Amino acid sequence: MLNPLFDHLIVEAVDPREAATASGIIIPDTAQGEKPQQGHVTAAGPGKMLDNGQCAAMSVKVGDTIVFKKYAPDEVKVDGKEYLVISESDVLAIVTK
């Protein structure tokens, strides 16, 4: 298991969905330009360390589905499973239903 430090998150990426035109032509995500990615937060650090030595609480929690910048995360593989490590500052939004 990965335990992130400070303001880092461990995320499982959500597979991008291919878009289709009205006539049914499928457009792969590689042709759609630079778009943010989505993922599920599986672990979260305690928060960002402030200059005064205190820890700022995280606004993202385990179980959240987030949207983040495409090239922000670092990819790691643990026990054959791929995870993304991302800073909370690279999260653009929390998806709500």
In CATH, what number is assigned to the domain containing residue 44? 2.30.33.40
Residues 6+ apart with CB under 8 A from 1: 43, 78
For the chain, the distance separating the N- and C-terminal CA atoms, rounded to the nearest angstrom, is 28
Residue 95 belongs to some domain of the structure = no
Residue 2 belongs to some domain of the structure = no
Give the pLDDT band (50/70/90) at residue 37.
confident
Residue 66 belongs to some domain of the structure = yes
Q: What is the pLDDT of residues 39-90, one digit of tens each?
A: 999 999 999 989 998 989 999 999 999 999 888 888 999 988 999 999 999 9
What backbone torsions phi and psi does residue 88 show, to the nearest 5 degrees? -60, -30
* Residue 30 lies in domain: 8-90
Q: How many folded domains does the chain comprise?
A: 1
Two structure tokens written together for 31: 């042709």
CB 45 within 8 A of CB 6: yes
Two structure tokens written together for 37: 């990615």
The confidence score (pLDDT) of residue 60 equals: 95
Give the pLDDT band (50/70/90) at residue 31.
very low
Residue type, 58: M
Residue 97 belongs to some domain of the structure = no
